[in-house]
């Protein structure tokens, strides 16, 4: 893959097809299939090749992804870090619901901006997902058995 405009490369891996297209100052990596540990290397290689061209923008199109695991998220976060060092803007293009869910659960959405139909947005976590500490810590407004400030009252019979 060279830096020429209009150049397209296709990479096949187990359960995954990656098409990388150079158009002007943008490199677009479109993924179809499942992103998991067995094809993580191919995904990382495609992103590395896209960044090696030093485009102004790298768009990772995830609309046709059927499975998105933690290893795929790790690859994306590493690519984001490399893009930042190179001064390349990295964005996710129309992520599938499974990708959005992983971004929401892991709270990585603010670090990976989303572009849908040319509009750049950030996936916001659901209000109940907002916590002040790491996963597994109780919320500040709840005690170990229920909401704080609520006193259990026993009524006497009789």
DSSP code per residue over the chain: --S-TT-EEEEEETTEEEEEEEETTEEEEEEEEEE-GGGHHHHHHHHHHHHHT--SEEEEEEEEEEEE-HHHHHHHHHHHHHHHHHT-EEEEES--HHHHHHHHHHT-GGGS-EEETTEEE-PPPPGGG--SSSTTSPPTTB-SSSBTT----PPPP-
- 121 vs 90 pLDDT, higher one: 90
- What pLDDT does 126 receive? 46
Average pLDDT over residues 83-89: 93
Question: Token match 């704080």: residue?
Answer: 148
Q: Which long-range contacts (CB under 8 A, 24 or more apart) does 110-118 make?
A: 111/77, 111/80, 112/76, 112/77, 112/80, 115/59, 115/91
Instruction: Write the pLDDT tens digit of every residue in 10-60.
Output: 877 778 999 999 988 999 999 999 999 999 999 999 999 999 989 999 999
Question: What is d(CA 111, CA 49) in angstroms, rounded to the nearest whole number?
Answer: 21
pTM above 0.75, yes or no: no
Q: Right CATH number for 8-128 from 3.20.20.140, 3.40.50.720, 3.40.50.1860, 3.30.750.24?
A: 3.30.750.24
DSSP code per residue over 59-75: EEEEEEEEEE-HHHHHH
Indicate if the pLDDT at residue 2 is higher than 80. Answer: no
User: Hey, where are the domains in the chain?
Assistant: 8-128
Q: To the nearest whole percent, how much of the chain has pLDDT over 70?
A: 70
β-pairing, 26-35 with 114-116?
Answer: unpaired
- What pLDDT does 157 receive? 67
């Amino acid at each position: 893959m060279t830096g020429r405009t209009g150049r397209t490369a296709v990479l096949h891996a187990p359960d995954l097809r990656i098409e990388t297209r150079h158009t002007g100052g943008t490199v677009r990596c479109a993924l179809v299939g499942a992103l998991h540990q067995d094809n993580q290397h191919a995904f990382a290689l495609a992103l590395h090749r896209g960044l090696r061209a030093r485009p102004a923008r790298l768009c990772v199109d995830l609309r046709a992804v059927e499975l998105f695991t933690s290893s795929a998220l790790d690859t994306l976060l590493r690519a984001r870090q490399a893009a930042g060092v190179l001064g390349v803007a990295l964005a996710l293009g129309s992520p599938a619901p499974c990708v959005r869910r992983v971004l929401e659960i892991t709270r990585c959405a603010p670090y990976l901006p989303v572009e849908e139909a040319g509009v750049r947005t950030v996936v916001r976590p659901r209000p109940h997902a907002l916590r002040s500490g790491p996963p597994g810590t109780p919320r500040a407004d709840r005690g170990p058995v229920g909401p704080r400030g609520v006193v259990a009252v026993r009524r006497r019979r009789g």
